[in-house]
Amino acid sequence: MDLVLLGAPGAGKGTQGALLADALGVPKIATGDMLRDAVRQGTELGLKAKAIMDAGHLVSDDIVLGLVRERLAGDGANGAIFDGYPRNVAQAQSLDGLLGELGRRIGAVVYIDVDDDAIVQRMSGRTTDPVTGVVYHHTHNPPPSDIAARCVQRDDDREETVRHRLEVYRQSTAPLVDHYRQAGVAVHTVDGTRAIPEVQAEILGLLGR
Ligand code: AMP
């Protein structure tokens, strides 16, 4: 099973992707998480990526391709849920190529639809546990009390940066819906404004699970 999650930043790809990974028994490959790990660890790649991420731009296709290639040779050898990757048509073509070399192809795309105003509202309440990377929301999904104090806002979740990320999404990532449709891949659209378990149940239903 190779599945791509599409949707604007803050649509819930990370949350739904983690639940799907558990339900389907394949790892979630989230290039944003991998890049944030590199930033935390202070690696050369992390140092290069940090300013680009904080500004809400995309890091280079080569960097993320390298990260994904490693995962496909490791824990993603038998399938994966791609979250935040691919982010543009060139990345989608590279992924098609990588999977093709392994005799695999994207089986389905789940597009999580949330309008811009709801996204901006969500992001302003979003808070992340820097230790586990788990994302919470102050009102809708508060962190457990024992870790609440260490949760922080992501540097790129400030309103101005979120608006820029939405613009990047519209220009570069949204066209992937058509890319996959034209390639004959099933693209399932779900309303991502509902409660987390409802969205999850609908996705599993659409995937026939
Ligand atoms: P995310 O956690 O998916 O919202 O990603 C956070 C940031 O990491 C993005 O705004 C980009 O700067 C960078 N990033 C994550 N995935 C990619 C990707 N596939 N291509 C380019 N940049 C990415």
C-alpha 35/C-alpha 159 separation (Å) is: 21
For 1-33, write each residue's pLDDT tens digit: 999 999 999 999 999 999 999 999 999 999 999
Give me the residue label for tokens 């949760």: 151
Least confident range from 125-129, 169-173, 176-180: namely 125-129
List all residues whose CB is within 6 A of at least one atom of ligand 1.
9, 31-32, 35, 52-53, 56-59, 64, 84-85, 87, 91, 156, 165
Q: How much is the average pLDDT of 77-101?
A: 97
| Residue 116: predicted pLDDT | 92
Range 102-108 contact pairs with CB under 8 angstroms and sequence separation of 24 or more: 102/72, 104/2, 104/79, 105/2, 105/185, 106/2, 106/3, 106/4, 106/180, 106/183, 106/185, 107/1, 107/2, 107/3, 107/185, 107/186, 108/3, 108/4, 108/185, 108/186, 108/187, 108/188, 108/206, 108/207
Is 165 catalytic? The answer is yes
Name, in order, each residue with C-beta under 8 angstroms of 208's C-beta and a sequence gap of 6 or more: none
Nearest residue (CA) to ligand 1, atom 10: 56
Task: Say how many Å lie between the CA of residue 159 and the centre of ligand 1.
Answer: 17
Distance CA 21, CA 16 (A): 8
Q: Residue 140 — pLDDT band, cuts 50, 70, 90?
A: confident
User: Rounded to the nearest whole angstrom, what is the distance from the C-alpha of residue 36 to the centroid of ligand 1?
Assistant: 9
> What is the Cα–Cα distance from 207 to 201, expressed in whole angstroms?
10
* Among 47, 204, 28, 55, CA closest to 133: 28
Q: What is the pLDDT of residue 155?
A: 86
Contacts of 128 by beta carbon, 8 Å cutoff, 6+ apart: 134, 135, 136, 151, 152, 153, 154
pTM recorded for the entire structure: 0.92
Which of 60, 87, 88, 168 is the best mutation target for the ligand 1 pocket, counting ligand atoms within 8 Å of the beta carbon and taking the most?
87
Catalytic member of 36, 50, 71, 126 = 126
Q: Which of 50, 71, 87, 122 is catalytic?
A: 87
Ligand 1 atom 2, closest CA: 32
Say how many Å lie between the CA of residue 86 and the centre of ligand 1: 9
Short-list 134, 154, 133, 32, CA closest to 82: 32
